[in-house]
Structure 1
Amino acid sequence: MKFLRLLLVFIPISLIGEFVHFSPTLMFILSALAIIPLAGLMGEATEEISFYSGPRIGGFLNATFGNATELIISFFALKAGLFEVVKASISGSVIGNILLVLGASMLAGGMKYKTQAFNKQALEVNSSMLLFAVIGLIIPAVFTHTVSPELLNKQYEGLSIIVAVIMFSIYLMSLFFSFYTHKDLYSVDHREESKPKWSLKTAVLVLVAATVFIGLESEFLVSAVEPMTKEAGLSEFFVGIILIPIIGNAAEHSTAVLMALKNEMDVAIEIAIGSSLQIILFVTPVLIFLSLLFKPMSIIFNEFELVALLLSVFIANRVSNDGESNWLEGFQLLAVYLIIAVSFFVL
């Protein structure tokens, strides 16, 4: 985390670049480097606030702000009409969390410990819910290929809104399930009692400041996407599905790996799987609702995204079978992610 804070120097550099009109590619890189430490500060501030608010409210705050960076970036992409980038970043976040984050955590932890155990029961609940969530994305896509274009044009927006409402209701029920009716499933014995490092006022100020600057940097990032992709010869699809998720979740990813190195695989897996659930059940519906302020965005993903999502979720369910992980499983997850990334790169 200390290394990430060094990247804060890119905030003033990107501001200068915006005023003196740096090239789009350079502005994309500078704003991306600035967002990474800001996302880390946002997560750290949320964690500090949870010490004062109690475990239940703290858990809700962590769930809400866990993907706030990506939500902010996607909001500005929505505003710019980059719907394919938004949808690619949604699927890319889920794929990245399951394959890249979980894989890196298992590999790093497995290199230090022969095997690592985790709460199998809680993971089975989350991975099953993740499968249901992905099915919710698949059904509208299948629907679009089985009806006539005339009917599709009339019902397109309504279908996306209805599905978004249902998925958001599932998210609210999952919070009630994990925080109240079945909270015992998610209890983990922590070896160390942590104490807050910041005052509540400091934590709130840092959270607000980080959110404001992430919004500013996100606007720089999104405005540079189209000219940057043409200048660098990349597709907007690749930027959305690979680059933006890594940028938005870099701090969270590093935390998962650090937890695995401390032999706290429950925390690492919760970051990977829990974050994926939040993306599909919370971030996606919210973006659908926000798109109504500009031009309505559909919830229809393309075939490549859906296949990659479904396979990633099946892998998550497979990993939860034995309640243990090792370095080879981590390496395999990373290999699958690399194959998917290369495939999307050549599209």
Structure 2
Amino acid sequence: MRSKWFVAGLALFFALSAGSHFLHWNMTVQFAFSAIAILFVAGFLGQATESVAHYAGQRLGGFLNATFGNAAELIIALFLVKEGLFDMVKASLTGAIIGNLLLVLGLSILLGGLKYKQQRYNEEAAGHNATLMVLAVIGLFVPAMFVTSERFSAAKDELLSLSVAAILIVSYLLWLVFSMVTHKELLRDEQSQADHDEAPAWSRRRSIVYLLLATAMVALVSEWLVGTLDQFTTEFGLSELFVGAFLIAIVGNAAEHSAAVMLALKNKIGGAVEIAVGSSLQIALFVAPVLIFASALFGKTMDILFTPIELTAIGVSVFIAASVSRDGRTNWYEGALLLMVYFILGIAFFLV
């Protein structure tokens, strides 16, 4: 850990979050303790991921962070799917995608750019990421347009949703084979691979153990925090769409926020991009389709039809993120632009 103070804060607020949850304290108090705890736990996960990345490389390290970071998002969404809260699930998935592409990536580029005038990463990887983001938009846009315009029956709607979900999962698995096996040398990021003579925080085995522990802690605190959102948002008059797309998404992606920013500040922008963009791709191409199949197992299939508002938000996010990242170079102003788009969407969602 960075310091004894960080360890003390992590232990204290995790304990307070757990205590307030199991002892059924006031919901606002539970929300406050869980919100602070998630910041410490996300920092822990970020450190563990960085240490694992030292041994595994930035691409695999970024993939691991996206996967373990999205574990909390997936667990939260599975609880919502089981309860039949499909609209909330889709809103949270939308928020996770735009949050990673605009907030996480934007903040990483902004803070990294303030420290380093220009940061570079693998242009080939940036191009493939941009193409995959467009595929994700197509996979979400086409079903919504066809079902709405052709007025598909419930049976056709379910068949289309399951078929598209299966195709997206296959596309994602093929991307993993392409990027991690057959073309990993082509996509290697030499700049982000450099460790600048830094020693890893922990041994390989301890890094993996801490990564698993941190992921479990993120999942627990996220679940406790989500449990307070219904009453909390009712008390403050927030809409279900805003809660799903922003509050739940920010909580579920706290781990990526921390890890990506830490890498950008160390001039490892390739790792930060891999986390932010990789997490969005994983949500769109893997997590969302898996939730559709999971809902079918629960007895009622969730369709893949996102609302026009959600599709617009995802489309806008993909367009600006692809425009900024495709050339393999970043500066603080590009990060600021991503954040501006996030604020625009946040205000619009809040007013819905």
> For the Cα contact (< 8 Å) 2:75–2:219, is it kept in 1?
yes
1:268 is the counterpart of 2:272? yes
Q: CA deviation at 1:156?
A: 2.5
Gaps of at least 5 residues in structure 2 are: none
Report 1:143-162 matches (<5 A): 143-148=146-151, 151-162=152-163
Match of 1:177 in 2: 178
Q: Which deviates the most, 241-250 or 307-316?
A: 241-250
Answering whether residue 287 of structure 2 is matched by residue 283 of structure 1, we say yes
Out of 88, 94, 97, the residue aligned to residue 91 of structure 2 is: 88
Q: Percent identity, aligned pairs only?
A: 50
Q: What one-letter code is carried by the residue in structure 2 that aligns with 1:183? A: K
Q: 1:73 to 1:138 in 2, by over 3 A?
A: same
TM-fit CA distance, 1:306: 0.4
> Cα 1:112–1:221, aligned 2, differ >3 Å: closer, same or farther?
closer
Contact 1:141 1:301 in 2 (8 A): yes
1:22 to 25, 38, 48: 25
- C-alpha offsets along residues 63-103 of structure 1, whole Å, 9 cap, x if unaligned? 53242221122222223332222211211111111111222
Aligned residue among 241, 252, 256 for 1:252 = 256
Distance 2:112 2:49 in 1: 25
Q: For 1:120, give the aligned amino acid.
A: E
Q: In the alignment, what sits opposite 1:232?
A: 236
Question: Does structure 2 conserve the Cα–Cα contact (< 8 Å) formed by 1:46 and 1:65?
Answer: no
For residues 91 and 187 of structure 2, the distance between their equivalents in structure 1, rounded to whole angstroms, comes to 31
Deviation digits for residues 165-212 of structure 1, max 9, x if unmatched? 111101100001101221122212232255544345544543444344
1:134-165 deviation line (CA, Å, top 9, x unaligned)? 110111111221123xx432223222221111
Does the 8 A contact of 1:118 with 1:266 survive in 2?
yes
Question: Is the CA contact (8 Å cut-off) linking 1:107 and 1:327 kept in structure 2?
Answer: yes
137-146 or 181-190, larger mean C-alpha shift: 181-190
Q: Provide closer, same or farther for how the CA distance between residues 54 and 19 of structure 1 changes in structure 2, counting only shifts above 3 A.
A: closer
How far 1:116 moved relative to its partner? 2.4
Question: Which residue identity does 1:275 align to in structure 2?
Answer: S
Question: What amino acid maps onto 1:261 in structure 2?
Answer: L
Deviations for 1:208-245, whole angstroms, at most 9, x for unmatched residues?
A: 44344444333323332322221121112111111122
Shift of 1:49: 5.2
Q: CA deviation at 1:336?
A: 1.0
1:309 aligned residue: 314
Instruction: Give, in angstroms, the shift of residue 42 of structure 1.
Output: 4.1
Structure 1: distance between partners of 2:64 and 2:260: 18
Q: Distance in 2 between matches of 1:235 and 1:179?
A: 41
Superposed, 1:329-340 pairs within 5 Å as: 329-340=334-345
User: Does 1:109 find its partner at 2:112?
Assistant: yes
Given that 1:36 and 1:248 are in contact with CA atoms closer than 8 Å, whether structure 2 keeps it comes out as: no
- Determine the C-alpha separation between the residues in 2 that align with 1:39 and 1:293: 31
Structure 1 stretches lacking a partner, 5+ long: none
Cα–Cα, structure 1 residues 251 and 123, in superposed 2: closer, same or farther, change >3 Å? same
**Superposition deviation, residue 277 in structure 1:** 0.9
Structure 2 distance, partners of 1:212, 1:85, is 23
Counterpart residue number, 1:346:
351
Counterpart secondary structure, 1:227: helix
Match 2:333 to one of 328, 333, 345: 328
Which among 142, 145, 157 is matched to residue 145 of structure 2?
142
Q: Could you say what the CA RMSD is over the residues aligned between the two structures, in angstroms?
A: 2.7
5-14 or 158-167: bigger deviation? 5-14
Query: Which residue does the alignment assign to 2:223?
Result: 219
118-127 vs 50-59, greater mean Cα deviation: 50-59
Correspondence for 1:133: 136
* CA distance, structure 1, for counterparts of residue 6 and residue 103 of structure 2: 19
Deviates more, 1:323-332 or 1:52-61: 52-61
Change (3 A) 1:329 1:11: same
Contact 2:43–2:259 (CA under 8 A) maintained in structure 1: no
Q: How many residues are aligned here? A: 345
Whether the 8 Å CA contact 2:260–2:275 is kept in 1: the answer is yes
Task: Tell me the alpha carbon deviations over residues 26-68 of structure 1, each in whole angstroms, 9 at most, x when there is no partner.
Answer: 3233333333433443454455556667889767644532422
State the secondary structure of the residue aligned to 2:181.
helix
When residues 120 and 56 of structure 1 are mapped into structure 2, their CA distance, relative to the original with a 3 A threshold, is closer
Give the AA of the match of 1:129. Answer: L
Write the distance in 2 (CA, Å) between the matches of 1:56 and 1:262: 16
Contact (CA 8 Å) 2:95, 2:244: kept in 1 or not? yes
Aligned counterpart in structure 1 of residue 72 of structure 2, from 56, 59, 69: 69
